[in-house]
Amino acid sequence: MPRILDGVAIAAAIKQEVAEEVQALAARGIRPGLAVVLVGNVAASQIYVRDKAQACAELGIYSEVITPPESITTEQMLALLAGLNARDEIDGILVQLPLPAHVDAKTLLDAVSPAKDVDGFHPVNSGRLFAGRPSLAPCTPAGIIEILKRSQIPISGQHAVVVGRSDIVGKPAAMLLLHQNATVTICHSKTRDLGAMTRQADILVAAIGRPGFITPEMVKPGATIIDVGMNRITSRDEFERLFAGDARREATFARRGSTLVGDVHPKAFEISGAYTPVPGGVGKLTIAMLMSNTVRAAKMRRGL
């Protein structure tokens, strides 16, 4: 039987460690602070921001949610970020994506001080990550490494195949795995004979954003599968392709009219050695690593 890598338990352990770090900083008169900028009324974004603020409250991190109107201009957002960059009690700044179409997201992300870039998206932090220098790494890729390490999955000397080349997950995940001495192959939608590549993976990271894209014949028996995908499906045909015969999922789908699935077909997990479930896997690590990055930023800014 394949082993389920429990993202919930690992995230809880990381949060406990962060809480202890926050207490140690408090003894020195320091309280890490996180500012989240949420523009507009995207329901999913509001849920994410609420969860982030709740995690801060639980761990003793100061948090501030700033909600400018959807009509805000790029110039006004730049002024807002400049103010946050200048505030000493704010250690981390997060601009919640997506932003309204009329706002230049790349310009705004680049305007966040690299020292406060707890999302790890700034080109300076990307460069530091590439060079293997201390930096703030993107939360989801950092969470992938934590899952592997804390689950005692060997990384050094293993062949890791990352399917997906985004700046947010695919590329930084590949770089972090390389720093852990894995041999890394990056694949994407234009890779020829993708299955031939993925079947070589001791560690397979699926981050391509397509429901059930990685099928059983694409997986090496005994491989560790890290499923980064979070796709909500509403089509009955798609449900039958992925979950035919799964009574528990059927009940959820019937009740809600949708269900979550990762980028890996559920049948592919059956031939793996270990895997992260969806939900309950990588997604749970993202907020935990954001909290960790906020504390890390607070310490780095003060030379600790």
CATH number reported for the structural domain that contains residue 93 in this entry = 3.40.50.10860
pLDDT tops 90 at residue 41:
no
Give me the number of domains the chain comprises: 2
Q: What is the pLDDT of residue 292?
A: 98
Asked whether residue 294 is domain-assigned, the answer is no
Asked whether residue 293 is domain-assigned, the answer is no
Closest CA to 266 of 282, 236, 232, 242: 242
Asked whether residue 16 is domain-assigned, the answer is no
State the catalytic residue, choosing from 117, 119, 202, 263.
119
Question: What are the E-state strand segments in the chain?
Answer: 3-4, 33-37, 62-66, 92-95, 159-163, 183-187, 203-206, 224-227, 231-233, 259-261, 274-275
Do 218 and 276 fall into the same domain? Answer: yes
Q: What is the pLDDT of residue 48?
A: 87
Do 41 and 143 fall into the same domain? Answer: no
220 is catalytic: no
State the catalytic residue, choosing from 52, 116, 171, 284.
52
CATH number reported for the structural domain that contains residue 255 in this entry = 3.40.50.720
Asked whether residue 58 is domain-assigned, the answer is yes
Residue 129 CA to residue 301 CA, distance in Å, equals: 17
Residue type at 70?
E
Mean pLDDT over each residue of the chain, to the nearest integer: 95
Predicted confidence (pLDDT) per residue in 173-210, tens digit: 999 999 999 999 999 989 999 999 999 999 999 999 99
| Residues spanned by the domain of 221 | 139-285
Do 95 and 163 fall into the same domain? Answer: no
Asked whether residue 298 is domain-assigned, the answer is no
Residue 34 CA to residue 91 CA, distance in Å, equals: 6
Asked whether residue 157 is domain-assigned, the answer is yes
Do 101 and 160 fall into the same domain? Answer: no
Asked whether residue 13 is domain-assigned, the answer is no
Mean pLDDT, residues 264-292 taken together:
96
Do 255 and 146 fall into the same domain? Answer: yes
Q: What is the pLDDT of residue 128?
A: 95
State the catalytic residue, choosing from 91, 96, 180, 202.
96
pLDDT tops 90 at residue 267:
yes
Predicted confidence (pLDDT) per residue in 86-101, tens digit: 999 999 999 998 899 9
Asked whether residue 14 is domain-assigned, the answer is no
Do 147 and 104 fall into the same domain? Answer: no
Do 247 and 280 fall into the same domain? Answer: yes
**Is the distance from CB of 258 to CB of 207 less than 8 angstroms?**
no
pLDDT tops 90 at residue 42:
no
Phi, psi (degrees; rounded to nearest 5) at 21:
-65, -40
119 is catalytic: yes
pLDDT tops 90 at residue 252:
no
Do 144 and 252 fall into the same domain? Answer: yes
Mean pLDDT, residues 145-170 taken together:
97
Question: What is the pTM (predicted TM-score) of this model?
Answer: 0.94
Predicted confidence (pLDDT) per residue in 230-248, tens digit: 999 999 999 999 998 888 8
Residue 165 CA to residue 169 CA, distance in Å, equals: 7
Q: Which residue has the tokens 């299955």?
A: 195
Mean pLDDT, residues 70-78 taken together:
96
Q: What is the pLDDT of residue 278?
A: 94
DSSP string covering 120-158: --SHHHHHHHHHT-S----HHHHHHHHHHHHTT---TT-
